Chain A
Amino acid sequence: MAEQSTVTFIITRQDSPESSPYQETFEIPYKKNMNVISGLMEIRRNPVNANGEETAPVQWDMNCLEEVCGACSMVINGTARQSCAALVDELEQPIRLEPMSTFPVIRDLFVDREQMFDALKQVKAWIPIDGTHDLGPGPRMPEKKRQWAYELSKCMTCGVCLEACPNVNDKSDFIGPAALSQARLFNAHPTGEMNKSERLEGLMEDGGISGCSNAQNCVQVCPKGIPLTTSIAAMNRATNIQSFKNFFGSDHAH
């Protein structure tokens, strides 16, 4: 691989949210240890395609460059993953880049993941701690549980699990696996637990947990190895119990 002098990218591009996609090929000089993002940066530096024509630089999204923010997800050689963590040496050439198909394209490889943030709002994936006075420290979390919860907290809203899910698409309003698992994370927190039922209610709203039909692709593709299907089954149990409490009545419904 080291003596190879150029790298070929075939990129699916789209000029605006409404326009139709097309492919453009780029050949750029090979550099040692380059990743897909450094390839894209090279194209941005010198936006000339393989036919020698000057073109608009390719747009993409990125932030952390170390696989923790999730912004740079795209479909690389058929697999949705983070472009900052995709090393060119480990990819088959030509390298095909496409935007994730589940999300609306803003431009080229840049997609709009807003639906994921709306989903987090639906399930109230945060812990309300603000009051009009000092509420004092919350209950402590056992260390073992903290370690367990840490795994769930690694989610970076990257969208790879939504891309893989057959039930997340424009025909369905299913919010996808990531937010379901986040509801579990915050319900497991000793302070977050105080608003447990509100998150469960969010999961029971339209597009919520009942949109899952257990294809279980999400757990296979999550780059952070989050046990999504265990989270979903756990939340299935919790929402069912909550719905029984709501219907039959319970002092522990809230």
Chain B
Amino acid sequence: MAEHREFFYRRLHSLLGVIPIGVFLIQHLVVNHFAVYGEESFNKAAGFMHDLPFRLALEIVIIFLPILFHAILGVYIVFVAKNNTRRYGYFRNWMFYLQRVTGIITFVFIAWHVWETRVQIGMGNAELDYSLMENILSNPVMFWFYIIGVISTTFHFANGLWSFMVSWGITQSPKSQKIATYATLVVFLAISYIGVRALIQFAYGV
């Protein structure tokens, strides 16, 4: 394997984007969505996640390290591309470009978001509850920052899922790749809805 390092790292990058990062993303957005059913619901759901046994180990192994690896190699991947949508304006080339744009936005967003929530909670400056998010999101600038961040994350995940299926040789024929495009579009719309709905709830209480 040592002589195929680049191949191994790129495949690992693709895999981690879906498992565990993608799975975690969906779980995270679904838990947030409990906010829509009321403050109590959210606090209960968030509390359940917070009180999972071995939480710190789980966070490091399932969330922190995979995201760090995906982000660092991802920035490198962005760097080695020479985008050419102006000359070659095909749909997939645009998706390729947007995957890189949303990758960078998502990276910035996640760094900020983790700092503002998980790190502050860890340092004892904040409590994990409904009002933490309410306070952050009642500021319109932060609200829009979160909207852009969440949609860019869900796009990056859904489009990445499409790419994942090609990179792992699952969708091979043009037809299956096309159907996968529609399927991942549905995934994008569905999880974007779940994510944005919770943000609106925190910000405007509706």
Contacts and interface: CB of A to CB of B under 8 A. Distances in A.
14 contacts: A164-B88, A166-B84, A166-B93, A167-B82, A205-B3, A206-B5, A214-B92, A215-B92, A216-B96, A220-B90, A230-B172, A236-B167, A238-B169, A240-B168
B77 to A, nearest CB: 7
Interface string B78-108: 0111111001101011011101000000000
B185 to A, nearest CB: 16
Contacts of A211: 6, 10
A38 interface: no
Contacts, number: 110
The size bracket of the interface on A is: 35 or more
Given A206-B7, A216-B90, A241-B169, 8 more contacts: A166-B83, A169-B81, A169-B82, A208-B6, A211-B6, A220-B88, A233-B166, A233-B172
B87 to A, nearest CB: 7
A5 interface: no
Contacts of A178: none
B174 A230 contact: yes
B177 interface: yes
Interface in B168-201: 168-174, 177
B168 to A, nearest CB: 6
Nearest to A210: B10
A30 to B, nearest CB: 29
Interface in B106-150: none
B174 A227 contact: yes
B1 interface: yes
A239 B84 contact: no
Interface in A197-238: 201, 204-217, 220-221, 227, 229-230, 232-238
B28 interface: no
A243 interface: yes
Interface of B: 1, 3-11, 77, 79-84, 87-88, 90, 92-93, 95-97, 99, 162-163, 166-174, 177
B4 A243 contact: yes
Nearest to B82: A169
A230 B83 contact: no
Nearest to B10: A210
Contacts of A217: 84, 88, 90, 92-93
A230 B173 contact: yes
Given A210-B11, A230-B172, A237-B168, A205 B93 contact: no
A229 B169 CA distance: 11
A78 interface: yes
